[in-house]
Structure 1
Amino acid sequence: TNLFTVKGAIFPNETNVRFFGNIPYAEPPIGKLRFRPPVSVKPRNETVNGTWFGPSCIQYNSGAKTVYSEYLTGFLLSPGQETSEDCLTLNVWAPAGSKEGDKLPVMIWIHGGGFTSGGAASPYKYGDRIVRDQGFIVVALNYRLNIFGFPKAAALDGHDMNPGLLDQRKAIEWVYENIHAFGGDAAKMTLFGQSAGSMSVDAYTYAYPFDPLVRGFIAQSGTVGTSSYTFDPTGSNFTYIASQLGCNTTSTHDEVFSCMQSKPATDIISIYNTYNATLTGNPLSFGPTADGETIFSNYTARQQRGLFAQLPTIYSSNDAEGSSLLSFTPNGPPGGQPAIDAFTKGFGTCSTANGALARRKFNVPVWRVRYFGEWPNLNPFDWLGAYHSADIPMIFGTSDLRGADTEVERETRFQG
């Protein structure tokens, strides 16, 4: 790359795919860089060991059982995957014979996880089979999560409120400047993501309407209309955790912020996890918030004015988004199918329609997809239907992790 050498490896079980992991795209966000926008990685006179994934970003875990934690663990981080505050890395899968000058298309993946958990090292989302079958280059990035990526601290005074989203932009800039070294073409980059990653993709189109760096977008199950961005206006969640760590919350906002930057990251996340696992009232919550830079409070007005990157866009949603996102029981969510349908309408159907209609108004090439796939090796319960995330294994070609694909399943993946 332009900054350092990366030592990769042939990806397991894919002799024609090279993997370059653990590539830093920003300086470690620790100490005085905690809760702050990412800083571009400096050149290093060293070789990065990129033979496997680096640590994922620190995870929030309330301990609540979900269909994913109990039956669909392939959507979560790989077993034993390390986590760390020093996590701003990305991973590249490329054809084994690719070289500078090949100018291959590039797919940049943003993972989901509710902006609180997740990472690139997730088995259903490994990019090797897309590379094997399509000849693209796939990039998957980590970004800061929960309080580390979305601190909502009063000291920030409404600016740079979403370091996790700024991480994503920094990673995309790194890919734009360096992907040529892997055989990729910076002029053929597509940004795609699912769930929180999909919301990130959609938000990115509004944050960088005139300088998107990429040439198209795919938003799978999530848009800017999926969530509210105005919670906790006083930053009380951040202040509460600071108080539990011994920071003097009667001090100035800047002093509280500086104190929190000095505390062990493991202590911060432990208080967050423990409080929400034992609460009887409102949970602590950290996620994207409107700052007028990366997230806005007036998306409807921006849609009406065409203030988004006017590039080819695919919006997709699944037929039963709510089945795996509502409260989990082996017999299905309380409220049954009506509850699933109501959630799906609000979460997926209407928000994707609004985004697509806004683009259609300005003659932007746009497509809507509704996924109905139900496969034996992906559905532990019949009532799940085409649940939230069910499309991921079909896109990444990883649907056989829990059992062999059916012939129809294999054929379906290559239709389009």
Structure 2
Amino acid sequence: MYPKKWKSAVVAAVAAAGLAGNVVASPTSTSTSPAPVTLTQGVVHGTSTMLADTTVNKYLGIPYAHATRFEKAISVGASGADIDATQWGDKCPQTNTGSAAMLDGEVDDSEDCLFVNVYAPETAASVGNKTVLVWIYGGGLQTGNSGRAEYDGSSFAANQDIILVSFNYRLNVFGFSNSPAIAAEDTNVGFWDQRLALEWIYANIGAFGGNRDSIVLMGESSGAASVDRLVVNPPNVPIHGAIMQSGQASVSASADHTGVQKWTELATAVKCSNDDAAAELSCMQAVNATVLQQTVEQLSLNFFPVNDNITQSGTPLVDAIKEGGKGAHIPLMVGTNAYEGSLFVAPYLQSAIDASGNVNTSMLATTIESFGILPDAISGVVKPFLDSLLLISPSHLLMSLSTIVTSLIFKCPAKEVAHAHLYASDMPVYRYLYSATFDNTQQGHLIPALDITNIGAYHSAEIPIVFGTYSVYDSVSPSTEDQKALSRVMQTHWADFAKNPSNPGFEEWNRVSHSHTHDMACFGCDAAPAGIKSMSEWEIDGDCLLFDTLLKADKPLFK
């Protein structure tokens, strides 16, 4: 179990991952409107945008469900009403427990937040049968929303001729209350939101020109972990492939089992504590949402899901193998960034700078030891280890610690998940490494006081490249030609996988094999800074021989 300050910092880093709200611009829309789409729930009126001389129809903020606080949502009913789908809907209430201000301020908070967005090629409705790629955002299950410029699906629609769909789901205490008055199978309402959204997509995507029998899931960070859960415990909707970027929900070095304790602490703070659990729940449902948010932040509480064996399994990796693959037998793409951990380590390093401008390794060592991961036998060597790294440079210290975090929380678990899926399903598994860095996306994550001018391919750095939304950083510095070229390459590979997960036709990207040889791809590696090169798992997984011993099939640390 990790202490609050670690969880808060992780959540803060996750919330910051790829958000950089001060540099994200809203998508540019044209004045034209696409033909309305008639659904059972009403007539949807969208907007359109031009991208590379191609028109994309966007239907934003379509309600898919309504919910009472802490309870499972209910699908929207039939209506002949007009639905304004010209802008993103409100995001679900966010709880930011690790930084002073929320970074994703593009849309407002509201408990009326269960909306879906559809980005479709102009000809999709008339031609039909388009592949449907469904995006699930990350944010540590505490923050995040689908209404972000970086998540705009227009490039996928314009350049890859597919439909991209995204949606909001409830988060933090609003999505995973852990109230003792609620049965375990009804507690993870944020995950039930996801399943309800998928049911909406399956029922309605045909009206937008999508093929409901060609739905592929894609998520990053906790969004990837959500995809993993949906693979292990499939929804009532056929899924034909899954893409997991920098996240999984199968193995972890530690777990959080303190949900009820946190609920009680929150209830006490807002004067709802009651020996009668039902009365306590009723009181909590009546508390002003902003008061709940502020109190959660003041107490540094992070709320995570429970193991209900419906939306989240207690031992998913073990179950997938022992039960002969209880999950969906579908093709999988899974990958990590070269320095995922730098986004999480950098704030600790910055906070350890003393008055003289040097890194206080004693302070840093105390913080690391408090995480509770390290065996007691080696806790005494942490400071000498940090000192040895710092002797070279602060940058070397940052990148070395980042490598450890990357391996323990991202890379080695990704390897385990890839091979477990291969064992269980014998379906194609494609694994990748993202290694590119660009000046405009690095800004905001650097530590000038320590002369750290590059933190590597950090957690979430690939998102604007995959989505083709790198231009949101042009206000920092112009996108480079390598950046644009790499985006075309990666997005095309993602789309090719979505269109035919079993046989995407990759030329330089072989399937994962148990031989660990020539069985993965690197995007943005030195040998191909604007493209892809084939590589072997054994080239990068050597340290997993150590870190795998720290992993267990339990609740994931990285939600």
Q: Is the 8 Å Cα contact of residues 64 and 75 (structure 2) preserved in structure 1?
A: yes
Q: Is the 8 Å Cα contact of residues 101 and 180 (structure 1) preserved in structure 2?
A: no
Instruction: From 77, 98, 104, give the equivalent of 1:42.
Output: 77
**Stretches of structure 2 lacking an aligned partner (at least 5 in a row):** 1-38, 353-363, 365-396, 447-452, 494-559
Structure 1 position 216 matched with structure 2 position 241:
yes
Shift of 1:195: 0.4
For residue 44 of structure 2, what is the amino acid of its counterpart?
V
SS at match of 2:250: helix
In structure 1, the residue matched to 2:270 is 245
Structure 1 position 344 matched with structure 2 position 361:
no
Shift of 1:243: 1.9
In structure 2, the residue matched to 1:279 is none
In structure 1, the residue matched to 2:482 is 408
Instruction: From 19, 30, 41, give the equivalent of 1:3.
Output: 41
In structure 2, the residue matched to 1:289 is 306
In structure 2, the residue matched to 1:281 is none
Q: Is the 8 Å Cα contact of residues 244 and 333 (structure 2) preserved in structure 1?
A: yes
For residue 369 of structure 1, what is the amino acid of its counterpart?
Y
Shift of 1:399: 1.2
In structure 2, the residue matched to 1:302 is 319
Q: 1:286 to 1:163 in 2, by over 3 A?
A: same
Alpha-carbon displacement from aligned partner over 1:203-236 (angstroms, at most 9, x marks no partner): 1111217x44221100000001355555116x12
Q: Which has the higher helix share?
A: 2
Instruction: From 140, 146, 166, give the equivalent of 1:114.
Output: 140
Alpha-carbon displacement from aligned partner over 1:115-138 (angstroms, at most 9, x marks no partner): 000101112111111111111111
Shift of 1:80: 4.2
Q: Is the 8 Å Cα contact of residues 226 and 348 (structure 1) preserved in structure 2?
A: no
Shift of 1:359: 1.7
Structure 1 position 373 matched with structure 2 position 436:
yes
* Distance (Å, rounded) in 2 between the aligned partners of 1:274 and 1:85: 20
For residue 218 of structure 1, what is the amino acid of its counterpart?
I
* Distance (Å, rounded) in 2 between the aligned partners of 1:226 and 1:285: 20
SS at match of 2:440: coil
Q: Is the 8 Å Cα contact of residues 349 and 398 (structure 2) preserved in structure 1?
A: no
Q: Is the 8 Å Cα contact of residues 51 and 158 (structure 2) preserved in structure 1?
A: no
Q: Is the 8 Å Cα contact of residues 251 and 317 (structure 2) preserved in structure 1?
A: no
In structure 2, the residue matched to 1:93 is 119
Higher alpha-carbon deviation: 111-120 or 359-368: 359-368
Shift of 1:358: 1.1
**Stretches of structure 1 lacking an aligned partner (at least 5 in a row):** 277-283
Structure 1 position 320 matched with structure 2 position 339:
yes
In structure 2, the residue matched to 1:196 is 222
SS at match of 1:5: strand
Q: Is the 8 Å Cα contact of residues 57 and 142 (structure 1) preserved in structure 2?
A: yes
SS at match of 1:225: coil
Alpha-carbon displacement from aligned partner over 1:272-297 (angstroms, at most 9, x marks no partner): 11222xxxxxxx22012211211111
* Distance (Å, rounded) in 1 between the aligned partners of 2:468 and 2:109: 26
* Distance (Å, rounded) in 2 between the aligned partners of 1:40 and 1:267: 28
Instruction: From 441, 458, 466, give the equivalent of 1:387.
Output: 458
Alpha-carbon displacement from aligned partner over 1:55-104 (angstroms, at most 9, x marks no partner): 00001112526xxx7xxx9xx52x44211011001111111232155111
Shift of 1:327: 4.7
* Distance (Å, rounded) in 1 between the aligned partners of 2:283 and 2:244: 38
Structure of greater Rg: 2
Q: Is the 8 Å Cα contact of residues 188 and 306 (structure 2) preserved in structure 1?
A: yes
In structure 1, the residue matched to 2:166 is 140
In structure 2, the residue matched to 1:104 is 130
TM-score where L is the length of structure 1: 0.89
Higher alpha-carbon deviation: 218-227 or 316-325: 218-227
* Distance (Å, rounded) in 1 between the aligned partners of 2:177 and 2:467: 32
For residue 292 of structure 2, what is the amino acid of its counterpart?
I
* Distance (Å, rounded) in 2 between the aligned partners of 1:310 and 1:248: 45
Q: Is the 8 Å Cα contact of residues 322 and 388 (structure 1) preserved in structure 2?
A: yes
Structure 1 position 260 matched with structure 2 position 287:
no
Q: Is the 8 Å Cα contact of residues 199 and 226 (structure 1) preserved in structure 2?
A: no
Alpha-carbon displacement from aligned partner over 1:8-47 (angstroms, at most 9, x marks no partner): 01137676011111111112x2xxx211112111112211
Q: Is the 8 Å Cα contact of residues 323 and 384 (structure 1) preserved in structure 2?
A: yes
Structure 1 position 183 matched with structure 2 position 209:
yes
Q: 1:327 to 1:151 in 2, by over 3 A?
A: farther
Instruction: From 257, 261, 270, give the equivalent of 1:236.
Output: 261
Percentage of identical aligned residues: 31
Q: 1:229 to 1:63 in 2, by over 3 A?
A: closer
Alpha-carbon displacement from aligned partner over 1:323-345 (angstroms, at most 9, x marks no partner): 01235168699652221011000
TM-score where L is the length of structure 2: 0.67
Q: Is the 8 Å Cα contact of residues 160 and 293 (structure 1) preserved in structure 2?
A: no
Q: Is the 8 Å Cα contact of residues 468 and 488 (structure 2) preserved in structure 1?
A: no
In structure 2, the residue matched to 1:280 is none
Structure 1 position 62 matched with structure 2 position 97:
yes
Shift of 1:190: 0.7
* Distance (Å, rounded) in 2 between the aligned partners of 1:325 and 1:239: 29
